[in-house]
Structure 1
Amino acid sequence: MIEFRQVSKQYSHGSSALTDVTLSIAKGELAYLSGPSGAGKSTLLKMIAAIERPTSGSVLVNGQDIGKLSASGIPYLRRNLGLMFQPANLLSDRSVVANVMLPLLVTGSARNDAEKRARAALDKVGLAGKATSEPLALSGGEQQRVAIARAIVNRPQIILADEPTANLDRASANRVMDALTAFHEAGVTCLIATHDEAILRNADRIIYLDGGRLTKSPEMRLAQESA
């Protein structure tokens, strides 16, 4: 589903965000990105969505080379992606359901159909009763779940989430992760960047970045050294 082949990203001022990254994520997999701040996690996620382009190497999504994608092809790529970046970026001048409808309206869906699907997405994240509320009236955890509803309203094949539980209390973080896990269990490929140790503790796969390079986590290195 997602493949990085010796991908590097350098900026004009000389700094490197990613260096020689090679990895693959299978269809339907749930994987976590971890590592210190500035390790390149957000850059890696943005490359999958063609927000950033590699300086060298190839990023493939469903076999399509993102680096060769034309500007006109990017909207079609993103229709298959559910994107969650920090902050939630909800629009405060419209209701919760209107926020969730936006991706559908942008891609040409009829308003009635868009509202029906948006309400269904809110129901899936446990917020059906908040559809007509204003975003600023919601808690931080509820705002993140609205962001999940907006990310999945297009019925994407892939969800990319950048620190979806940042600054949330444990109960709110658990509800956000329960919603994301439910979509994974329904067959959606999920790649989640997080520092949350409570989440990583039970993860089946962790992709660890440090200084823009793939590496083993400190915990993995310690375990191997003591073995």
Structure 2
Amino acid sequence: MSISENLKNIKSSLPDHVTLVAVSKTKPVSDIMEAYNVGQRVFGENKIQDMVEKYEQMPKDIEWHMIGHVQRNKVKYMAPFVSLIHGVENFKVLKEVNKQAAKYDRVIDCLLQIKIAEEDSKFGMTPEEARTILSSEVIKELKHVTIVGVMGMATFTDNKNQIKTEFNNLKLIFEDLKTIDSNLKVISMGMSGDYQLAIACGSNMVRIGSSIFGERNYFN
């Protein structure tokens, strides 16, 4: 099926309260425009430089989400336009986002990335670290960032029970953090292979790439 057909099929299966982030990493502008032309407006990239290049070439009503590991020295390049940063894994990243957003008089929404997977390769902070950040007086001084929720990535495994346990864990962590900050609203979890399970476990934002755009060729 085409990109537009894939997108329509996925959207028709999503509950109204779930935001679809179309993960366009490694994909050309022509593919992203096919999704745009059937109404998709939220796209996710995992490399800041790639996102900047696509932002410059594409319509300005797109919401760009940074879903990958955030390198602090590159935050300045996305600060003028990024809508949501999913991968905030420590306070230093928040401080840098705040610093760069201030230059454009913007407030940038951020998600705290919680490590729920068993894999060492996955980034993220512990629930305790997230509690410390939200409870701190210092966070109130960062006027150009708003923490709006959490993000997590499950272990890359075929064991659905393990994935479900990890998703449920993130939902519990979210509910706990919400007792500190009642404004938290986003739980970003679930990708092409497990987004339906993620939604059943409480996700309200899913990051779907290959099911829309097809398998990736990382050698392009």
TM-score range, shorter chain: 0.3 to 0.5
What TM-score results when the alignment is normalised by the length of structure 2?
0.37
Which structure has greater strand proportion? 1
